[in-house]
Structure formats: C-alpha cells, structure tokens
Amino acid sequence: MDLYKKIWDKIENSDNILLIAHMNPDGDALGSSLSLYPILKNMKKKVTVFNITKPLPDYLDFLPNFKKITDKMPSKIDLTVAFDCGSIDRLGLESKPSFLINIDHHISNTMYGDINLVKPGYASTSQVVYEMLKSNNVEINQDTALCLYTSLVTDTGSFQYESVNKKVFDCAADLVSKGVKPDYVSQMLFQRNRLSKLRLIAKSYETLELCCDAKVAFVEVTKEMMQITGAIKEDTDTIVNNVRSLATVEIACMLREEEDGIKISLRSKNVDVSKIAQKFGGGGHIRASGAMFKNTADFEYVKSLLKDEFKRLL
C-alpha cells in the first residue's frame, strides 16, 4: 500500500488524534502540526495540537488556530502524529504512544514511529504534508494553506537554500492559489521584531571570532546578555544566519548558554555540518544543524572541540 494512503487510512480510522511537534518549535514544526487541525476538525475528529514548550514563539501567533496549541495531554489518544522531529525524546512525551506516525524531512531522523514518512530531500516537513494531502485528494483550505506556506518560507530561509527546486515553487504557487498572501506572511514573520532582539544581536556581534582563514565564524550568546537586553530564546534565531552571510565564511556557529549547558547552532554554505552535530549528539540538516553540550558553561572549551572538527571538514 502507498505510504501516503496508509497514513491517511490510519487517520480516517482514528477518532482521538494528537498532533505534536518538537520542543522549542520553529515555523515548520508549528506550521506543519497546525496544518492538519482544520482538516481533521472538518472530518469530525477530536484533535489536540500539543507542544511542551512554554511560551511558544510569538512570531508565529498569526498562524490559524495558534491559540489552540496546548501543553496539556488529552486523556484519550488513538493516534499520535509527530511533525518535524528527528528523535522521539524531543517530543517531550512521558512514554511512547500506542501508535505513532512520524512525518519529517531531517536526514538524521531516527525512524522512531510505527509509520515513518521521512523525506530528507524535501525543503520542509510541510512539503511532505502537502504531498500527502494532494496524494489523497484532500482539499486544502485557506487556513491549512497558510500554515503550510509559512512552514515552507521559514525552513527555506525565504526560498534561499539548496533544497529549493521546481517542486518547492510549485507547492508555494498552489498554496498561494488557495488564498495565501505572501506579503502578509513576510510582514508577520520578518517585520515584527522586538527591540530586545536588536539589542541582543548587537551584543552578540561583539563576540564575533573568525578562524580557519576566516572560513569559520563563532558568535556567542550568554545568559547575561539575555538578561541585560530582556531577550528571549527566539530572539537568537537569525543571529547565526546573519553571521554566515559574511563573504569569507563557510561555516557559522552560534553558542548559546543554557541552564544545563551550551547549545550550538551550525550553518554552512556548502559543507555538511550535520555530521559534526551528530558527532556531538545532535542532528539536523546538511546546511543547518545543532547540538547540545550539557553540563558545561565553558565557551572556549566547546569552541576548541569544534575548531578541530571544522579544520578536518574544510
């Protein structure tokens, strides 16, 4: 049986459905999980969109049904559908669900579902969801289209990355034909910055360090910076991408101090940084990956480990 049909048959035969994405969700995670909500509600399903993260990123608050997302688990679940999550531990669940469908596009996905729909070559998880809906002749309404389009924009860096091809633009064009307004999405995503974000960016740039013949750039975000500027985690989202934009830089790395260690975010122009992330227990995409160095607050120690890996990679 075709995998798309197998998944949709399972959805049709389930009454109580949980839609879940990874903790600390981005646009693709929330957009993909919210995209099915209006469709399943129209099918008379009992639907819960769950995410353990509090608070959720407010730059995505324009997505339809955003306020329906909850961190309270329903008492009855027939089917759990996970979106954009490479490993089950990042879902924030206390135990494995009775039946789990895993929909993703990360090359590092651990195939933790009872059914795994993982397309590493796709630009976003939303593109996988879109193809599944089209394959099953499911009508895509305007709310679903807005969620899917937003996911596509955020995970392609506004159609900048190498994952973008004709299929991506065909998908985007079809979603626009459903009523999505690209200028509205762009305004909601990129023209609502908090002052705290700009102040944090300025402070982080003061830590910029170049190495490996200026092919590698490091930038730091400390807890003190966050406190001084009043910034929140989502305010750091664009920092590493901006650093990658430097002319000589091939790999950019942001180190962010957390309560339990140092989170690294890796971005590259042409090399596979997912291999480095995986070596340190993380994962992600070829050009965008991350990992966590737990129980350390030593930026220089983490950078020294990474520098050795970057030299080998370059």
Q: What is the pLDDT of residue 178?
A: 98
**Residues 232, 131 share a domain:** no
261-268 and 288-294 as β-strands: parallel, antiparallel, unpaired? Answer: antiparallel
Picking from 137, 159, 190, the residue at the C-terminal end of a domain is 190
pLDDT, tens digit, 9 for 90 and up, residues 205-242 = 999 999 999 999 999 999 999 999 999 999 999 999 99
Strand-pairing partners, residue 206, are none
Picking from 158, 190, 222, the residue at the C-terminal end of a domain is 190
Sign of the alpha-carbon torsion through 249, 260, 106, 20: negative
pLDDT, tens digit, 9 for 90 and up, residues 70-121 = 999 999 999 999 999 999 999 999 899 999 999 999 988 999 999 999 999 9
* Greatest alpha-carbon span in the chain: 59
Cα–Cα distance between 133 and 150 in angstroms, integer? 17
**Residues 8, 140 share a domain:** yes
Report the domain count for the chain. Answer: 2
Pick 94 or 63 by higher pLDDT.
Answer: 63
Average pLDDT over residues 30-40: 98
- 268 band by pLDDT with thresholds 50, 70 and 90: very high
Does residue 120 contact residue 129 with C-beta atoms inside 8 Å?
no
With CA atoms as reference, report the closest residue to 95 among 83, 70, 112, 110: 112
Q: What is the pLDDT of residue 1?
A: 57
| 297 pLDDT above the threshold of 60 | yes
Q: What is the pLDDT of residue 284?
A: 83
**Residue-range definition of the domain harbouring residue 83:** 3-190
Does residue 31 contact residue 63 with C-beta atoms inside 8 Å?
yes
| 285 pLDDT above the threshold of 90 | no
- Average pLDDT of every residue of the chain: 96
| 137 pLDDT above the threshold of 90 | yes
Q: What is the pLDDT of residue 258?
A: 95
pLDDT, tens digit, 9 for 90 and up, residues 152-188 = 999 999 999 889 999 999 999 999 999 999 999 999 9
Cα–Cα distance between 287 and 108 in angstroms, integer? 12
- ∠ Cα 8 30 49 (to 5°): 60
Supply the CATH number for residue 212's domain: 3.10.310.30
Sign of the alpha-carbon torsion through 146, 151, 156, 162: negative
- Which residues, at least 6 apart from 65, have a Cβ–Cβ distance to it below 8 Å? 34, 37, 38, 49, 143
**Residues 275, 150 share a domain:** no
Pick 313 or 239 by higher pLDDT.
Answer: 239
Backbone angles phi, psi at 68, to 5 degrees: -80, -15
**Residues 101, 50 share a domain:** yes
**Residues 224, 166 share a domain:** no
Residue 173 tokens read as: 């064009």
Q: What is the pLDDT of residue 129?
A: 98
**DSSP conformation letters of 113-160:** SSEEEE-TTSS-HHHHHHHHHHHTT----HHHHHHHHHHHHHHTTTTT
